[in-house]
Chain A
């Protein structure tokens, strides 16, 4: 190991963590150019190569690497939360029609198609422009951009490094949710932990928000597939001795490394554009069903990225390539990349829980910078495999049990619901408490689900 491995968790979370997490944290710590430590967030679980919930920063000037597995297949998968200004009672009055409209008009699940089909030049423009491109096409409002990481457009994207296959997979997938753990969820602000920051974020107890969890769809998945292979084949050429093929990576300063960086950044733009188009669909749906709602973006976070950031190491600022795989960037108050309105409070950190338990809004802290390159957890993290979950529960039973608690679920797949059963996930409250106690980010508000459209 070139650096230590550091796992942020309390004792019960540590006991629940798969041994593979420690193995993967250790393996990442052996990679060239790694700086400070190989980190695992409190929701860490067994991934491929890097753990999910893993954070690692590399210095290009010290032979540092970039890894497609360290970003993951679903590039820039993330969460966007929108404030609605609605009360819970107003929303409950239209609970069924709203759930039906969301289910009908937000394309979700395998085999779904978006309303938008892009030609080659529009794909290029989307890959370069991200959410800014979507807004220029009429899918959103310019004010949305300041509430999105990178102001909605990741610089340095190289559309030319995105393969024909990746483009083909995306042609009819813009504005689609995907499947698995992706969702649109209508939530109520149930509890406020920090009144000052909640006020700054515009969150009030009893008000309703909508959260979207999805990523870069087929395009990002194919970029991951293409570059995992290229990196695995090129590793020997670059003199990289890897403990396992799944750690496939390339020096940042190499042909493959630079190509991946450009393609991955284009993948980030695809995810940002995708969540922007879904935001537009949500605004159309709410305008029809609950016209008194006004949807404002609280913030948009990405979970699976590698970003060039400046961090202070031993009192000296250094430019580092920070991999966050299933981890959220969590800039503290005053960070230059935050919009003016959020500067006093720190970056909103949006944590998606399971469809039965709830989600959290946290805020980036000053202390988080020195702990793990301003990073925090991203969700509850699975406690049980999909296979175990679908063996244990029936999708219909899960839907009925949640309905008895007032939570409406819509999904094309009962098995998909069973695999996402609330008890298949770790206790999100414990994960968030661990992140809060460690100082990675600070608790602001707890959200509980009112309805959930499963991908």
Chain B
């Protein structure tokens, strides 16, 4: 993959890390007009955190986003899938009104309530070169499930 000097020029490569608890990662999946975001990990929390990283990677390379400021977020929904959409939409909202990007996420889930702390910084267009804005998370290809030993959290986001 060729990159410009900021590294934000081309599509972001999926990322995977391995902890004692198991594999964690995110990837984008195909949607003709928009983009699918998918996070996976050993726990629901990890999958939600990774889905948030995939959301940031729609805009820029997550590694380019410094953890300068923290924001606390909470949301609640009747089921896991709506909770994922609410979580991603809460991030879309905070990015929009604060003009920020987020690169680090800690999620705590209690049944269908989510409490998170997210870290990021103000958008710097020279550094981050954000490609698009995300308008919102959709219910298309929406799934939160335990598959082959790990949790997957995914949906299509509208850009």
A-to-B contact residues, CB < 8 Å? 18, 20, 45-49, 52, 69, 72-74, 109-111, 113, 165, 168-169, 171, 178-180, 218, 221-222, 224-225, 228-229, 232-233, 244-246, 248, 382, 384-388, 390-391, 394-396, 412-416, 418-419
Contacts and interface: CB of A to CB of B under 8 A. Distances in A.
Interface residues of B, number: 43
A451 to B, nearest CB: 20
Contact of A179 (B78, B82, B93, B130): B130
Given A245-B142, A394-B2, A224 B136 contact: yes
B78 to A, nearest CB: 7
B112 interface: no
A339 B110 CA distance: 58
A109 B135 contact: no
B138 A385 contact: no
Interface of B: 2, 4, 8-11, 28, 30-35, 59, 78, 81-82, 85-86, 89, 92-93, 96-97, 99, 122-123, 125, 129-133, 135-140, 142, 156, 158-159
A180 to B, nearest CB: 5
Contacts of A171: 97
B136 A73 contact: yes
Nearest to A18: B32
Which of B11, B99, B136, B159 gathers most chain A CB within 10 Å?
Answer: B136
Nearest to B29: A387
A73 B32 contact: no
A180 B159 contact: yes
Contact of A394 (B9, B59, B78, B135): B9
Contact of B130 (A45, A46, A111, A244): A111
Contacts of A395: 4, 9
B136 A225 contact: yes
A109 B125 contact: yes
Contacts of B85: 229
Which of A45, A246, A385 gathers most chain B CB within 10 Å?
Answer: A385
Nearest to B97: A168
A49 B129 CA distance: 31
A125 B123 CA distance: 30
26 contacts: A45-B32, A47-B33, A48-B156, A72-B158, A73-B136, A73-B158, A74-B135, A110-B123, A110-B125, A179-B132, A179-B133, A224-B158, A229-B85, A245-B139, A246-B138, A246-B142, A385-B33, A386-B34, A387-B11, A390-B10, A391-B10, A395-B4, A413-B129, A414-B9, A415-B129, A419-B131
Contacts of A228: 136, 138-139
Contacts of A74: 135, 158
